Amino acid sequence: MACFLAACFAAFKSAFFSLPALVTLFAFALPFSQQATFWAQHASFCLQHAAACSQHAACCSQQGAFWAQQGVFCLLTAVSACAANAINPMHATPINAMIVFTGENVEQDIAFCKSRRKS
């Protein structure tokens, strides 16, 4: 950078409109311009990546809350089935069927989430 500034100063000091001085100036300036463009693109990529990571974290947080609710629901359903079975075995059949249905839904949800994660 010091060389670049020195070249600028020398070019303007010695001959402002001289062609060799301007060629020298552009020869020094071009790599810095290319580097600046590269770092600007790199910064843009990093910002996009950070935004994607933030969205992914929010999605994971929401999925975690969803699965926690599903877990509580399944636990309560299982407890209800056990209690109903203990009180009256005739009442347990619909609840057991609901547990099987809930389990199938959870398996479908897991398959759906796995397919979304791949895409």
* 37-74: pLDDT as tens digits: 888 888 888 888 888 878 888 877 787 788 777 777 77
Q: Which two tokens stand for residue 31?
A: 């790599």
What is this structure's pTM?
A: 0.36
* Helix, coil or strand: residue 119: coil
* Phi, then psi, of 17 in degrees rounded to 5: -105, 10
- Encode burial over 32-49: b for 16+ CB neighbours within 10 A, e otherwise: eeeeeeeeeeeeeeeeee
Q: Rounded CA gap, 47 and 91, in Å?
A: 57
| SS3 of residue 17 by DSSP | coil
Residue 70 confidence (pLDDT): 77
Q: Tell me the C-alpha to C-alpha distance, in Å, between residue 1 and each of 5, 8, 10, 25, 34.
A: 6, 11, 14, 12, 14
pLDDT tens-digit map of 11-34: 566 555 566 666 676 777 777 777
